[in-house]
Amino acid sequence: MITAELRRALLAAAGRTDGDPQLRPAAGPGRYASSLPFRLTPPGQDPRAVAARMAARLETEPWIATAEVTGAGYLTVTVTPDALAALAARIPRAGPACAASDTLRGCIVPGPPPANPLTELTWSRAWAVLAAQLTARLATTAGATLFSPERGLLPPPAPESPAPGETGPVVAAVAYAGPDAVRFALARMPPGAAAPDPALVARHVLANPAYAVRYAHAAAAAVLRWAAALGTSPAGFRPRLLADPPGSDELALLDVLSWLPERVAVAARRGRPDEFAGYLEELATRTIDTMNTTGFTTISSISSERLWLADAARTALATGLGLLGVGAPGRL
């Protein structure tokens, strides 16, 4: 996907095979900024010169529209509208691999504890177990390798299991709100945050992230289901139809979709699965907004390209929820 490819292109332009370009969004869909020139510039020299050399190499890529020096030495890359729009077809074709990259290739991460976090006795322990499990899962998706006995490295010992019949607030919350809602609420908890409130986590309202992300998946699935009922399915793909107008909801959704592999890798590197859950919340908001526009709710306006985009959003959300171990319902 775009950010994974851009990462490789930036490193190649810098003559490197590894490193972190530290990508961040720039103004507008399909624009990405990197601070890599600052870290490549020798002391006392101007990072803008390094950025300019990299930009000249990047502009030879057919999928890159412009590469320019911005600010004190940032490198800002804009991909072509067709490259961004093509994600609508590339993501469904890739399936769960749409989140994968080689960003953490060569890294070895600890094997996660085998316990079930939803049966732990305390919220703090449930959070610690789940955070370790999700960090390992995100890391391997980004190309890392788990510790293994074959490498002479052992995973951490399994935590003690609760005694038979012993329960706590986590089990009670699962019984009240359901495992998916509680698991997502735990996944999005930053370190040291207060425990989730089961009464809030169980609410079927868009203000509840544990519901909103699953609802967004169901909304995208519904578009495909309605179209199929009318005998319509994604067919030929013309990316230009999603690339205009520049400020469209479709382009904004495509832009968020383009960050999926990068958000997986960054969350894994930082050991912060809550940041990836936050990305899924952003993707859900964009998906819901887009699926509610006239182009998706008026049957006569649903083009093949829009069906591809609905499928891309559905695929990305299902993949992200799957990485968190949360179900992705087709109906809610």
pLDDT in tens, 42-92: 988 999 999 999 999 999 999 999 999 999 999 999 999 889 999 999 999
Q: Which of 327, 265, 320 shows the shortest CA–CA distance to 287?
A: 320
d(CA 76, CA 21): 11
Q: What is the pLDDT of residue 243?
A: 64
State in Å, rounded, how far the first CA of the chain is from the last one: 29
Q: What is the pLDDT of residue 35?
A: 93
Q: What are phi and psi of 214, to 5 degrees?
A: -70, -35
Q: What is the pLDDT of residue 154?
A: 45
**With a cut of 50, which residues of the chain have pLDDT below it?**
151-157
Tell me the pairing of strands 108-109 and 145-146: parallel
Structure tokens at 238: 């013309």
The answer for residues whose C-beta is within 8 angstroms of residue 67's C-beta and 6 or more apart is: 54, 55, 56, 58, 59, 75, 76, 77, 78
Q: Position of tokens 């788990």?
A: 146
Q: What is the pLDDT of residue 332?
A: 84
Q: Which of 43, 44, 42, 51 shows the shortest CA–CA distance to 14?
A: 51
Q: Position of tokens 């089990």?
A: 171
d(CA 239, CA 81): 8
d(CA 82, CA 243): 7
Q: What is the pLDDT of residue 239?
A: 60
Q: What's the pTM?
A: 0.90
CB-CB contact of 196 with 189 (8 Å): yes
Q: At what angle do helices 273-291 and 123-141 cross, to 10 degrees?
A: 80
Q: Please report which helix (H) or strand (E) contains residue 103, including its range.
A: none
Q: What is the pLDDT of residue 32?
A: 96
Three-state DSSP at 230 gives coil
Dihedral sign (CA 280, 284, 290, 296): positive
Q: Position of tokens 């409130």?
A: 197
d(CA 51, CA 17): 17
Structure tokens at 194: 């207060």
Q: Report the percentage of the chain scoring pLDDT > 90.
A: 66
